[in-house]
Amino acid sequence: MTPRRLHVPPESERAIAAVREYLARSDMAIADFAYRVRYARSTIKNWLNRLYPSDDELLRGACIDYIERNPVAADEAIQGRLYHTANLQMLRQWFYAVVDRGWVVVGHGNPGTQKTFGIRALIGELNRADAGKNGGGRRAWRVYCSQAITPIQLLRKMAGAAAVPSSADRNRLISNLQHECRARRAAFVLDEAQHLSVPCLETVRELWDEPPHFGVLFLGSHNLVQQFNHPELEQWRRRIRVMQSLPGLSESEAREIIGAELPAASEKQIRGLIDDSKPKDFARRPYISVGRLTEAIAAIKERLPQKGSAT
């Protein structure tokens, strides 16, 4: 029987809002959350869409209990803060062009340029913005491309990220993804995409070419550009709207971060932090790594006396 939308009591509305917020902040798929609370994915999905009977005390109790036992920490640690750098601004432009306009973007950069952390934050931002747009909200998923991944392994990772059945053959996986997103704008962010082979890339091209025309953001190292120079990828090269490198952290941005986190730092300390955040063994032009800088700042802050502690 097709579920119908029912009146939802206030306590259920609060629980639904809490679960949607949790899913957005944790970047967890509905299928994964359903597995953890021991309910079917369809049950959780219908409940979130207010298509479940009002006597949901056991279900919402299981959901809230799981959330309370597995909190998503606020971004309080230095490693978890999102700094609004030129790199992040560029990532934001790429991300929303891919989601809203269905573009293909190839973004590459050195380690420590906020690629993965920045894109996770942007996906969370999108999920929170569209959480209440049942059936038509935009969606984006990040998929890590492991070394030597095969086309079928990649498709299964993509299906799993989108919470659609992933135990199927190639054609069924593509069909499942297309059907699930037929009424919405959707995109995939393929991280560490320099690991993708030509057959993997050609499989992804089918998802872009056919309705609903998934947007695609490829992120990876500078080797990613070489991947797309392969003679068999002419079709891809004609579809790429942007192929650009992340610039890395500027010295002024690094100084702003240090000033915000360590306001008492001397010029000598600031200079030392910046110099130590430049990978010395990198063959190309030295750059400031956000990851190295934030780790160094965190280490200094851990050694500082805490307010209210005994001296």
Tens digit of each residue's pLDDT (9 = 90 or more) over 243-286:
999 888 889 999 999 999 999 999 999 999 999 998 875 556 67
**Contact of 214 with 187, CB cutoff 8 Å:** yes
Element (H, E) at 190: strand 186-191
pLDDT at 36 over 80: yes
Topology, domain 10-69: 434 Repressor (Amino-terminal Domain) (1.10.260)
Q: Where are the domains of the chain?
A: 10-69, 81-245, 251-303
Q: Which two tokens stand for residue 43?
A: 């049950």
Res 282: pLDDT: 53
What are the pLDDT digits (tens) for 162-216?
877 777 889 999 998 998 888 889 999 999 999 999 999 999 999 999 999 999 9
Residue 30: the pLDDT is: 85
Q: Which helix (H) or strand (E) holds 189?
A: strand 186-191
Stronger pLDDT, 300 or 25, i.e. the higher one:
300
Residues contacting 162, CB < 8 A, separation 6+: 29, 139, 141, 177, 180, 181, 186
Q: What is the mean pLDDT of residues 12-26?
A: 80
The span from the CA of 189 to the CA of 170, in Å, is: 20
- In which band, very low, low, confident or very high, does the pLDDT at 241 lie, cut at 50, 70 and 90? very high
| Topology of the domain comprising 81-245 | Rossmann fold (3.40.50)
Indicate whether 22 pLDDT > 70: yes
Is there a common fold for 10-69 and 81-245?
A: no
pTM for this structure? 0.75
- Residue 1 to residues 40, 51, 163, 176, Cα–Cα distance (Å): 16, 12, 22, 22
List pLDDT tens digits, range 217-230. Answer: 999 988 899 889 88
* Omega cis (within 30) before 212: yes
Burial state string for 146-182 with b = 16 or more CB within 10 A and e = fewer than 16: eeebebeebbbbbbbbbbbebebeeeebbebbbebbe
Distance (Å, whole) CA 90 – CA 87 = 5
Q: Beta partners for 219?
A: 107
